[in-house]
Each structure stands twice: as C-alpha cells, then as structure tokens.
Amino acid sequence: MFNNLFIFLAALFLVIKGASLATKYAARLAESYRLSKYTVGFIIIAVISILPETFISINAALDGVPAFGLGMLFGSNVADLTLVFAIIIFFAGRKLKVESKILKNHVVYPFLLLVPLILGLDGRFSRLEGIALIITGAVFYYVALKNGVDGSVPLNHGNHRFKNFALLVLSMAALLVGAHFTVTAAVSLAGYLGVSPILIGMLIVGLGTTMPELFFALNSVKHKDDSLAVGDILGTVLADATIVVGILALVNPFFFPQKIIYVTGLFMVAACLILFSFMQSGKVISKKEAWLLFLFWVVFVVTEFFANR
C-alpha cells in the first residue's frame, strides 16, 4: 500500500509541477502574439491547464478504466466552478470582478456543458459522439480566439519564443510521465482500500488536476488580472467537458456507470448555473457567494462518497 501511495503522490506532484511550468511558458508565448488577457486565459492557459486531465484520461482509457477518466473530468470541473473560485476570492480578500464581455459572449456556456450529459444518457460514448464533442468545443474556442485579439497590446517579437516553446514541450513531457503513473497507482490504491477507482478519480485525482489553474489564478488576482483568472477556469471547464471527453471516446469508445451523468454531471451543470447567476449580480463574485460555492462543493463531495461506496 505504502509503495502505491508514494508512487501516486510523486506522480501527482509531477503532473501538478509540469502543468504549472507549462502554464507559465504558454502564457509568455501567447502574450507575445498580441492576445487580450482574457483570451490568453480562456484559450491558451486553459488548453495547457487541461493537459493533466487529458493525459490521465487517455492513460485510463488505454489501461481499460475509461470511467476513471470521465469521473475525474466531471469531478475536477465541479471543483473548478466552486472550490477554486472560492479559494481565489478568499485569497484576494475582495470581490472578483467579471468583465461584461465575458457574460455577453458566454450566454450559451452552461448549455455547452449539457452536451456531454445528453450524449452520455445511455451510459456510452461512441467515436461519433466523441467527434461531435470535439467539434462543439473547437467551434466555441475558434469564435473566442477570433474575437480575442487586443490591438492595445503591443506586439512583441521577442527573442525568447523558441526558449519558451522548448520549455513548454519539456513541461508537457513531465506531465505525460506523471499522468501514466497517477492512473496506475490510483487504481491499485483504490483496490487495496476497497473503494471505487471512480471515486478516487473524482475527488483525489480530480482535485489534484485543478492545481495548475488554481496557482495561475491566484497569481493573476494578486496582480489584479481578474480576467485572466476567470478566463482560465471557464476555459478549462469547457475544454474538459467537450474536447477532452471527446478525445477519450475517440481513443477508446466506452461504457460507464450512468450515475456519473445523473450525479456528477448534473452537479457540474448546477455549479455552472449558480456561478453565472453570481457573476450576473453586479458583475462581481462576493465573499458571501464564495462561501456558498464552497458549501456546494462540500455537498458534492459528500454525495459522491455515498453514491460510490
């Protein structure tokens, strides 16, 4: 048991560290191409932030436990939409500002999170459904990127692009290695403890994979860049629910327990609706609302524990 626990913690640390470094160098690359801060967060940083979930999910599919990956994706999304936002606001000690254009451009956002739930009602994701999910996410990101160039940001042709790209690739390699050992150790640990691997994926691994966006968001609000923080989290959640689930189905079409849809999936959509309702009330998220988000996450954890005993 202790060997599996050590491997699991070491692999998870490698995933988190690799993702944090990848986020750092991706941000530097993106900003050199004249993208607005929100677009950098929503698209570039978010794409890097989903690497842990993507690699872990693919490894889970190849190891014959794709439901582990699906549960982890939905579980990490619930944590991002509730716990991570709450921690950011507690850390900042102030209200989190939300740009008007974020709300305007994301009217359909909660409905996009419903797409994987609707396609997965039968407890299976086929390759065709995987392609549909990837296209759904890609189209939304294309529209966001198309409208994301900020002419006020000076164009920087800096000499460090190659260096940043090389370090980004090395960070992604560390992620890939960590992801492989995270899955194998987590499944072994779950078997020893007599609990469902899906529960380990949802709560422990899922929480661990939120660290890259959490660290990036904390650094962003520290420098008053609230749009970077909000964009990163919303972009990560959307990519997880559409593109990453789509890739998982494309790699290996799979069946899964339908309670992942009816419990975890519904919690994910509910968390999104609650968060957006808070955003629209004065275009800020207050400390009181942060506490409510935190309590929602606690209810989610308790529900999942009893649902997956």
* pLDDT of 34: 64
In tens, the pLDDT along 4-50 reads 778 878 887 887 777 777 767 766 776 676 666 666 666 767 777 77
Average pLDDT over residues 156-166: 68
The whole-number pLDDT of residue 12 equals: 76
The CATH number of residue 297's host domain is 1.20.1420.30
- At residue 213, the pLDDT reads 74
Sign of CA dihedral 55, 57, 60, 64: negative
The structure tokens listed for 301 are 């954890």
- For the stretch 244-281, pLDDT in tens is 999 889 888 888 888 889 999 999 999 999 999 998 87
Q: Based on the structure, what is the number of domains in the chain?
A: 1
Average pLDDT over the chain, rounded to an integer:
80
Give me the pLDDT at residue 31, please.
67
Residue 204: pLDDT over 80: no
Mean pLDDT of 121-125: 91
Cβ-contact 278, 285 below 8 angstroms: yes
pLDDT digits (tens, 9 = 90+) for 229-238: 788 788 889 9
DSSP letters, 82-137, are: IIIHHHHHHHHTSPEE--HHHHHHTTTHHHHTHHHHHHTTTSEE-HHHHHHHHHHH
pLDDT the model gives residue 183 = 64
Residue of higher predicted confidence among 50 and 282:
50
pLDDT (0 to 100) of residue 170: 84
Residue of 119, 144, 60 whose CA lies nearest to 242: 119
Phi, psi at residue 77, to the nearest 5°?
-65, -40
Range of the domain at 76: 2-307
| Residue with more model confidence, 116 or 19 | 116
pLDDT range class, residue 130, cuts 50, 70, 90: very high
